[in-house]
Each structure stands twice: as structure tokens, then as C-alpha cells.
């Protein structure tokens, strides 16, 4: 119902300076979402500057020509809105959700920092400190910090863009200079390298006028040439070990290469369905066997993308993660996973097994699109990665069209002789 009418109201256009715009009106609640996606993520940051894309995201909140430090937060919040930004492998997003009266303010804020952010030494030093606290909080001072998103890539990948730590090493963060910031901005933060999304309670014609008013005079700079991050898959099983000072139980992550999320979308979706067949719900293959029947693990999960699907271009990662008792050797868990994958490869799942996965995906996509913030971000990301924001609304049908044979083929491609295995060992042995 609502989805079809939503799709038909969506529109796209491009300003003269190259900024792509997605408009997605929806009057059901008096709120608007505004997002800008820049086509640069941590895979593009230079060697010796790990963590720079994320650090730069922090700096974009620190003021611009018309806005003193802290003004961005104050203006959004005193208009009744919420804001944030996040850095992904292949893009960085900035967004606000506000009462619809504040639409023009949000456009003004995003345009001002796209045009002329204030990059200063003081703010850089302060945000290096803040980012280091963020890393202590999310990685260094907790069990399984960075598992698997920081720990698995260096085992599965060989080239710097794919393998390095996107949060950054403290030594690299401390080296970041103001000139690095200026170069990064001029290279990657041009309107021709960005997507603006406006969704929610807006009149499309009025929104378009306001977008022209605020963004049209952001000067054009050419978008950087598209880089390929392609590299050959591993030719054997590559293993790595990480000692975790806080983890009480051993864990493992298995990483596989998977089909190109953009160029081979249907095969990519078959991998998402496969992940559901393997670990979604008590009736899934690996939950049934490894958590309940045998039982070998405390928890197990599988999925596409180290932050979720549709976050990256090629190459992307299919991963299976498990936390297990120290009495169970990792190879026993791996052996059981391989057996289940072989079974699926030779005997495709039945119709009901597929229907379960696709119904749950359909519901979760509806739920995601019901949250204006998630919908705004998804539309922008799909414009950026696929050039097709409405694909977001067609995903349930595309997933429902995945056949049992497609899932079997996806399972067959997860080969034990072309994968990474990361073992997390508790420091000083398990207690």
C-alpha cells in the first residue's frame, strides 16, 4: 500500500554544480529528514592516515563560514531536531530529522558546510581527542571490541584500502594535519561527489526551490575518478589470531568474498537469503544445530557486509561469527558450518524455508522505512551506490524472487579453501 504511493512520488534531479538530489515526500507525520551522502568512506583514506575519513566526519560538525563552533548542534536541536553522521566503507553520511517547519534550516546547515567548512587546528586537536575516547569506548575497553569489523578485514584482504582499520591507529590519528583536511575536503567533498536526500512532510515544488536557493551557488569541483578496490580472493584458508584482554569466551569469525553488491545484485541478494536460512531464528540451520541440538556455540550469526548489507561496493564480505565455550575447539565449529553449507549446496532449501526468510526481510524493510531517519539514509545510499533510490522499495520483491537454486549456489561458493578465519582468544586463557 503505502510503499507504492511513496515510490511514485519520489523524484530525482541534478543541480548544475553536479549535486544529485532525491526528493521523497510523505505527509503521514509532520517531520522531515535531510541527508547528505559524500562518495568517500574509510576505504579511500591514504596509507599512514588510517581513521582519517571518520575523523574528518567529526570536523564537519565543528563550524562553517556562517556557523560558529557548536552552532550546528544548537540550531538543529533548538529547532526540535536530531542529527548525526557516520562513516562507512564507501560513503560518509550527515543527516537531520526535524519538525517540518525546520526544513530550510537543515538545508542551510548542510549547504554551508558543503560550501565552506571552518577547518581549524584547535578543532582538529579537540576532535582527535574525542575520536580516541570513542575508540577506547567501542574497541579498547570492552570485550570483543572491533569484532569482527576491524579484526577480520586484515585476514581476508591484502590491499590497504580493504584491510586497514577504519577507526584508525592512535599514531596515525595524531599525525593528521590541517593540510590533510584541506586536501581531503577539496578532493572528495565536492557537490558533484554528493547526494542530497529530502524525505517526509514536504511540498516537492517548495522543497526544490529551497534546495536551489541554498545549494546552487556551492561551486562545482569535479568528482574524483572512481577507484576500484578490487583484489583477488584468497587462494586458501588464511588464519589470524587476536588476543582479547576483556573477552571471557573464545570467538571466531569466518570471512568470505561475495558477489559484487552493485553489478551482481541478484546473486548478492541470494547471499542475504542464505544468511537468513543459516542463522535467522530458532528454526534456521545453524541455530538449530549449533546452538540447540549439539550444542557447540553460545551465539552464532551470519550476514553480508561488516556493518550490514548495502553499505559498500565491491569487494564486500560475507561473515559468520560465533562465540563458543573454551571446551569446544574452533575447528569443530568450522567443521559443522562446512557440513551445513555442503548440505545446502547439494540439497536446496524447500519453499517454506525460503518463505520464512523473505517474509521476515519484507517486514524488517517495512519497519526500517517506517523510521524517517532510516528511510532518508537508505534512499541516499541507494542513489549513491546504485543510482536508483527507489530500488529500496523494490527490495522485498527482488528478495522474494530468489530461488532455492540461487541459495544453493550461494552456499556452494562459500568455500573452505578461499576464506579467512579469525580466532579471538581470551587473554590468559578462558576463565
Partner 1 sequence: MTTAGHRSAEEIGRTATGPRPVPELGAQTAAADLSHVDTVLSNGLRLLAVRKPTVPLVELRLRIPFGGTTPLHAATAEVLAETILTGTQRRDRIAIDTELALIGGELNTVVDPERLTIAGNALADGLPTLLDVLADALTAASYADDEVARESARLVERLVVSRTQPRVIAREALLKHVYGDHPATREVPQADDVAAVETAMVRELHTAAVLPRGSVLVIVGDIDPDAIAGDVERVLGGWSADRDAVTMPELPAVAGGDLLLVPRAGAVQSQIRLIAQSLPRTDPRYAALQLANLAYGGYFSSRLVENIREDKGYTYGAHSGFEFTGSTATVGVDADTANEVTAAALLETRYELGRLAVVPPTAEEVESVRQYAIGSLLTATSSQAGLASQLAALSAAGLGAEWLAEHPERVAAVTVDEVARAALEFFAPSRFTGVVVGDADVLAPQLTALGGVVVGEPGK
Residues 257-296, interacting with partner 1 (CB under 8 A): 280-283, 288, 291-292, 295
Q: Is 30 one of the binding residues for partner 1 (CB under 8 A)?
A: yes
Using the rule CB under 8 A, give the single segment among 100-108, 230-238, 311-319, 407-415 that binds partner 1: 100-108
DSSP one-letter string for 76-127: HHHTT-EEEEEE-SS-EEEEEEEEGGGHHHHHHHHHHHHH-B---HHHHHHH
Dist. CA 103–CA 204, nearest whole Å:
12
Residue 134 or 237 with smaller CB distance to partner 1: 134
Q: Looking only at residues 370 through 399 of this chain, which bind partner 1 when binding is defined by CB under 8 A?
A: 370-373
Q: Is 425 helix (H, G, I), strand (E, B) or coil?
A: strand
β-pairing, 297-304 vs 20-25, is unpaired
Q: Is 118 one of the binding residues for partner 1 (CB under 8 A)?
A: yes
Residue 121 or 239 with smaller CB distance to partner 1: 121
Q: Looking only at residues 125 through 154 of this chain, which bind partner 1 when binding is defined by CB under 8 A?
A: 125-134, 136-137, 140-144
Using the rule CB under 8 A, give the single segment among 161-169, 260-268, 300-308, 368-376 that binds partner 1: 368-376
Q: Which of 7, 11, 17, 187 binds partner 1 (CB under 8 A)?
A: 187
Percentage helix, strand, coil, to 5, in the chain?
45, 20, 35
Q: Count other Cβ atoms within 10 Å, centred on residue 401.
A: 12
**Count, residues near partner 1 per rule CB under 8 A:** 106
> Kind and range of the H or E element at 158?
none
Q: Count other Cβ atoms within 10 Å, centred on residue 14.
A: 12
Please, what is the end-to-end C-alpha distance for the chain in angstroms? 54
Residue 64 or 317 with smaller CB distance to partner 1: 64
Strands laid side by side in the 419-426 sheet: 237-244, 419-426, 251-257, 317-324, 297-304
Residue 76 or 156 with smaller CB distance to partner 1: 76
CB of 312 to partner 1, least distance (A): 20
Residues 6 or more apart whose CB falls under 8 angstroms from that of 163 comprise 153, 154, 156, 157
Residue 42 or 108 with smaller CB distance to partner 1: 108
Using the rule CB under 8 A, give the single segment among 116-124, 153-161, 254-262, 301-309 that binds partner 1: 116-124
Q: Count other Cβ atoms within 10 Å, centred on residue 128.
A: 19
Q: Grid coordinates in use for 205? A: 515544488
Q: Which of 18, 25, 46, 233 binds partner 1 (CB under 8 A)?
A: 46
Q: Grid coordinates in use for 61? A: 560538525
CB of 116 to partner 1, least distance (A): 5
Q: Which of 64, 162, 271, 319 binds partner 1 (CB under 8 A)?
A: 64
Residue 16 or 263 with smaller CB distance to partner 1: 16
Q: Is 60 one of the binding residues for partner 1 (CB under 8 A)?
A: no
Q: Is 86 one of the binding residues for partner 1 (CB under 8 A)?
A: no
- Which of 43, 34, 136 is CA-nearest to residue 84? 34
Q: Which of 91, 147, 185, 256 binds partner 1 (CB under 8 A)?
A: 185
Q: Is 7 one of the binding residues for partner 1 (CB under 8 A)?
A: no
Q: Is 243 one of the binding residues for partner 1 (CB under 8 A)?
A: no
DSSP one-letter string for 327-364: TS-HHHHHHHHHHHHHHHHHS---HHHHHHHHHHHHHH
CB of 99 to partner 1, least distance (A): 5
Q: Count other Cβ atoms within 10 Å, centred on residue 257.
A: 22
DSSP bridge partners of 321: 253, 301
CB of 367 to partner 1, least distance (A): 6
The answer to whether 344 and 407 are in contact (CB under 8 A) is yes
Going residue by residue from 305 to 344, which x/- string records binding to partner 1, judged by CB under 8 A? ------------------x-x-------------------
Residue 63 or 234 with smaller CB distance to partner 1: 63
Amino acid at each position: 500500500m503505502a510503499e507504492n504511493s511513496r515510490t511514485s512520488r519520489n523524484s530525482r534531479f541534478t543541480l548544475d554544480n553536479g549535486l544529485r538530489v532525491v526528493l521523497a515526500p510523505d505527509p503521514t507525520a509532520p517531520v522531515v529528514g535531510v541527508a547528505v551522502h559524500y562518495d568517500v568512506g574509510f576505504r579511500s583514506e591514504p596509507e599512514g592516515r588510517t581513521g582519517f575519513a571518520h575523523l574528518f566526519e567529526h570536523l564537519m560538525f565543528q563550524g562553517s563560514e556562517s556557523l560558529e563552533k557548536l552552532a550546528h548542534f544548537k540550531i538543529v536541536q533548538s529547532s526540535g531536531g536530531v542529527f548525526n553522521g557516520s562513516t562507512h566503507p564507501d560513503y560518509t553520511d550527515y543527516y537531520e530529522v526535524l519538525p517540518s517547519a525546520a526544513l530550510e534550516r537543515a538545508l542551510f546547515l548542510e549547504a554551508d558546510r558543503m560550501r565552506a567548512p571552518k577547518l581549524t587546528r584547535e578543532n582538529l586537536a579537540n576532535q582527535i581527542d574525542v575520536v580516541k575516547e570513542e575508540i577506547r569506548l567501542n574497541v579498547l575497553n570492552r570485550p570483543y571490541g572491533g569484532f569482527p569489523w576491524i579484526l577480520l578485514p586484515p585476514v581476508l584482504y591484502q590491499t590497504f584500502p580493504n584491510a586497514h582499520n577504519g577507526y584508525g591507529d592512535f599514531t596515525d590519528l595524531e599525525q593528521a594535519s590541517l593540510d590533510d583536511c584541506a586536501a581531503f575536503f577539496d578532493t572528495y567533498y565536492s557537490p558533484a561527489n554528493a547526494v542530497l536526500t529530502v524525505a517526509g512532510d514536504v511540498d516537492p515544488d517548495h522543497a526544490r526551490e529551497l534546495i536551489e536557493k541554498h545549494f546552487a551557488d556551492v561551486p562545482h569541483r569535479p568528482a574524483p575518478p572512481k577507484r576500484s578496490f578490487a583484489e583477488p580472493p584468497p587462494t586458501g584458508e588464511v588464519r589470524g589470531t587476536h588476543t582479547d584482554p576483556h573477552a571471557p569466551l573464545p570467538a571466531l569469525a569466518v570471512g568470505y568474498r561475495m558477489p559484487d553488491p552493485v553489478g551482481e545484485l541478484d546473486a548478492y541478494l541470494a547471499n542475504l537469503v542464505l544468511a537468513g536460512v543459516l542463522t535467522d531464528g530458532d528454526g534456521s540451520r545453524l541455530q538449530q544445530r549449533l546452538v540447540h541440538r549439539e550444542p557447540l556455540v553460545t551465539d552464532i550469526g551470519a550476514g553480508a557486509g561488516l556493518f550490514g548489507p548495502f553499505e559498500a561496493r565491491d569487494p564486500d564480505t560475507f561473515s559468520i561469527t560465533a562465540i563458543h565455550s573454551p571446551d569446544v575447539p574452533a575447528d569443530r565449529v568450522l567443521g559443522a558450518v562446512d557440513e551445513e553449507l555442503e548440505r545446502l549446496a547439494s540439497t536446496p532449501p524447500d519453499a517454506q524455508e525460503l518463505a520464512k526468510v523473505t517474509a521476515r526481510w519484507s517486514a524488517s524493510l517495512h519497519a526500517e522505512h517506517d523510521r524517517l531517519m532510516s528511510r532518508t539514509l537508505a534512499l541516499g545510499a541507494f542513489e549513491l551506490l546504485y543510482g536508483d533510490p527507489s530500488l529500496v522499495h523494490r527490495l522485498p520483491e527482488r528478495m522474494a524472487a530468489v530461488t532455492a537454486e540461487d541459495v544453493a549456489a550461494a552456499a556452494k561458493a562459500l568455500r573452505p579453501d578461499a576464506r579467512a578465519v579469525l580466532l579471538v582468544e581470551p587473554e590468559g586463557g578462558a576463565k
